[in-house]
Amino acid sequence: MDPKKRLEELHKEAFKNFDEYVKAKGKLEKEHQEKLHEAKTNWQNAWNKLIEAMMVLERLEI
């Protein structure tokens, strides 16, 4: 399997598991919801940077 596709699958699975974990914990206070939203945004931004770096490396054929 292509490493990029495998990473994408792992990313989606981790995000899904994270959401399920949060739902299992029940209702969160507003402050915690905001922190959770910020953490998910940071996670997605980090993922996007990783994909960008992989694309650059692919173009350079490294």
Return the domain boundaries, the chain: 3-60
- pLDDT class of 50 with cuts at 50, 70, 90: very high
pLDDT above 80: residue 6: yes
- For 31, the 3-state DSSP assignment is helix
pLDDT tens by residue, 8-34: 999 999 989 988 988 898 888 999 999
What does the H/E/C string look like for the chain? CCHHHHHHHHHHHHHHHHHHHHHHHCCCCHHHHHHHHHHHHHHHHHHHHHHHHHHHHHHHCC
- Read off the pTM: 0.74
Mean pLDDT across the chain: 89
